[in-house]
A and B are shown apart, each in its own frame.
Chain A
Amino acid sequence: MLSSKSLKNLQHSRPSVQGKIVVENLNVYFGKHHVLKNLSIAIPDRQVTAIIGPSGCGKTTFLRSLNRMIELVDGAKVTGKVFLDGLNIYSPKVDSSDIRRRVGMVFQKPNPLPMSIYDNVAFGPRIHGIRNKKVLDKLVEESLKAAGLWDEVKNRLKDPAVSLSGGQQQRLCIARALAVNPEVLLMDEPTASLDPISSAKIESLIRELKRKYTIIVVTHNLQQAMRIADYVVFLFMGELIEHGAADEIFTSPRNTKTIEYLRGAFS
């Protein structure tokens, strides 16, 4: 027989819905400002989920609360639960660096570290204790291949990362994120600072990567969301307005806010 208390604990430690990431009653405050309002949602495994919504609706905040990067913001407070494969990442026993290894992140502006291409990709494995040169070489090669950058850089791995073009830098950042073997990849407007050709490369890379990784992309570009997303989350003023399969949301949205947004009434 379970006591009522342990039963309650059990309920609290397990998400009620299935999904790679399950968010329950997530609230985020910056000081007194209530940024995310009671979000509950399940993110499907190995699919591309696009988070859309007008500027300032909390897309980036939501993304950053999925790997606890939000905690780096001074004065940020998070309540509610985010489950990664059933583990509440905000539980006090959980180490944030552990979560961030499992949930990788790619930023809006490519941010290669000021070191060589090789060292950028090897950076993650090295901080997680991998020192063996052969293992590192293999990881670097695999990650760069997975990010579709290997052929372009294999002969210049020792060159500084900043010598790459913007699009290449962003793919390098993806390779760097893949090198620590994550399960989920968060991408915050990954093509916002890139030209159309580089953006197209990143988009096809995203479609490629979803076979192995759960991908969550914040995008300001509806056409991009339509091209890459399997699942769509629409946020407005910090609230979750609508979410569902991409086909449904884009062809027959239910909420009037979603309809207006998709029609381009505001952005």
Chain B
Amino acid sequence: MSLKNRSTFFTDREGANPRSLRGKIDKLSSCFLAIASISSIFVVSTIAALLLYNFMKFCEQGFLPSILSDVWLPSKGEYGLLPFIAGTLWITAVAMTISLPLGFLTAIFMAEYIPRKMHSPIKSLIELLAGIPSVVYGMWGLMVLVPLVRDQLAPLIGGSLGKVFPLFRVNVNIGFSILAAGIVLSIMVLPIMISTSEEVMRAVPMEYREAALALGATRWQATKTVVLRLASPGIFAGIILSFCRAFGETMAVLMVAGNVITVPSSLFDPAYPLTALIANHLPEMISIPSYAYALLTAGFILFVVTFSFNVIARLVVRRLKRMGQ
């Protein structure tokens, strides 16, 4: 965040007389605001420092080369993180593949097409979706999706597409799979995707739509050439936000992914995402320092990826905004 063009409380000497009550309250409030923001920055820095410290310890002990190995045997000092990294990437990819088009099209409908009377009930339904605890999504995945994948989707898709594309091949059919986890995740990130995209589309001033429509543009043409064009930075930011959410989600994924330590090669394979690794092994790590380093390195990877995606998002948004002018 740039403070260059803003007056901060440190330099701002404008306002009420500092000796009056109003002035004192003014001063006090700016202090509180500063303390609040500094403390959140402090928390983030301590997390980053903790993760970085453990990552460095992990490297110091010479485990770094083993990160990309697929052997995970903590008792023998083998900390290959590849299966977990692969699991996280697979599941996130599936989740985004499903939620991206679905969320994007829903957002367009919600922002541009929906009759006014229908808007608020549907909006509250979508918000409700965002408020469901992730463990409930996990339960739903466990009770509904896992059997569905095992008994219906795997035989159906594996028997047809799976014969041609390895992506759909059924190697083990236990239902706990990348597909099940991906579907659960996609539903979890859908509300974020929809509300951020809808919000930015609605923020496009009406006068621009009118300009296009008055020239004889159809509603879709106005949406495509004006609204989407202007909203694209915000939509992109929403996609990144959903990506980071999907990437870091733990509970629901842990419940349906199967948690089998392999490098998956098909949608129907079980997987073991990084987040689940940390959550499941937390109790064991306390006694062995190198174990703790390995798990916190997994956390470090998650942190670095989400952090850099946020930075990239910021840069791209800034660029897109400039292009939109």
B69 contact set on A, CB distance < 8 A? none
User: Cβ of B210 and Cβ of A114 under 8 Å apart?
Assistant: no
User: Cβ of B210 and Cβ of A69 under 8 Å apart?
Assistant: yes
User: Cβ of B216 and Cβ of A113 under 8 Å apart?
Assistant: no
In the bound complex, what is the Cα–Cα distance between A100 and B324 (angstroms)? 26
A48 within 8 Å of B (CB atoms): no
B215 contact set on A, CB distance < 8 A? 100-101, 104, 123-124, 127, 176-177, 180
A98 within 8 Å of B (CB atoms): yes
Candidates A67, A111, A114, A127; contact of B325 at CB < 8 Å = A114
A151 within 8 Å of B (CB atoms): no
Per-residue CB contact flags for chain A residues 41-71 toward chain B (1 = under 8 Å, else 0) read: 0000000000000000000000000010100
Q: Which of B199-256 contact A (CB under 8 A)?
A: 207-218, 221, 225-226, 230
Interface size classification for chain A: 20 to 34
User: Cβ of A72 and Cβ of B225 under 8 Å apart?
Assistant: no
User: Cβ of A67 and Cβ of B214 under 8 Å apart?
Assistant: yes
B6 within 8 Å of A (CB atoms): no
User: Cβ of A69 and Cβ of B216 under 8 Å apart?
Assistant: no
In the bound complex, what is the Cα–Cα distance between A105 and B207 (angstroms)? 12
Which residue of B is nearest A105, CB measured? B214
A109 within 8 Å of B (CB atoms): yes
In the bound complex, what is the Cα–Cα distance between A138 and B141 (angstroms)? 60
Candidates B116, B208, B218; contact of A113 at CB < 8 Å = B208
Which residue of B is nearest A67, CB measured? B214
- Central interface residue in B213, B216, B325, by most chain A CB within 10 Å: B216
A128 within 8 Å of B (CB atoms): yes
In the bound complex, what is the Cα–Cα distance between A109 and B217 (angstroms)? 20
Per-residue CB contact flags for chain B residues 255-273 toward chain A (1 = under 8 Å, else 0) read: 0000000000000000000
Candidates A104, A112, A114, A128; contact of B214 at CB < 8 Å = A104
User: Cβ of A100 and Cβ of B214 under 8 Å apart?
Assistant: yes
Candidates A101, A107, A128, A160; contact of B210 at CB < 8 Å = A107
A162 within 8 Å of B (CB atoms): yes
User: Cβ of B226 and Cβ of A113 under 8 Å apart?
Assistant: yes
Decide: A127 near B214, CB < 8 A? Known: A74-B116, A111-B208, A114-B230. Answer: no
Q: How far is the CB of B221 from chain A (nearest CB, A)?
A: 5
A177 contact set on B, CB distance < 8 A? 214-215
In the bound complex, what is the Cα–Cα distance between A180 and B215 (angstroms)? 7
In the bound complex, what is the Cα–Cα distance between A100 and B217 (angstroms)? 8
Q: How far is the CB of A15 from chain B (nearest CB, A)?
A: 23
User: Cβ of A124 and Cβ of B216 under 8 Å apart?
Assistant: yes
A91 within 8 Å of B (CB atoms): no
Decide: A162 near B325, CB < 8 A? Known: A100-B214, A114-B208. Answer: yes
Decide: A97 near B217, CB < 8 A? Known: A107-B210, A109-B207, A114-B208. Answer: yes
Decide: A111 near B210, CB < 8 A? Known: A101-B215, A124-B216, A177-B215. Answer: yes
- Residues on A lying within 8 angstroms of B by beta carbon are 67, 69, 72, 74-75, 97-101, 104-105, 107, 109, 111-114, 123-124, 127-128, 160, 162, 173, 176-177, 180
Beyond the given A109-B207, A162-B325, could you list 11 further A-B residue pairs with CB under 8 A, ordered by the A residue number? A72-B210, A72-B213, A97-B217, A98-B216, A107-B207, A111-B207, A114-B324, A123-B211, A127-B216, A128-B216, A173-B211
- 12 A-B residue pairs with Cβ-Cβ distance under 8 Å, sorted by A, are A69-B214, A72-B209, A74-B116, A75-B116, A98-B216, A101-B216, A114-B325, A123-B215, A128-B216, A160-B325, A173-B211, A177-B214
**Which 5 pairs between the two chains have the least Cβ-Cβ distance?**
A101-B216, A124-B215, A105-B214, A111-B207, A100-B216
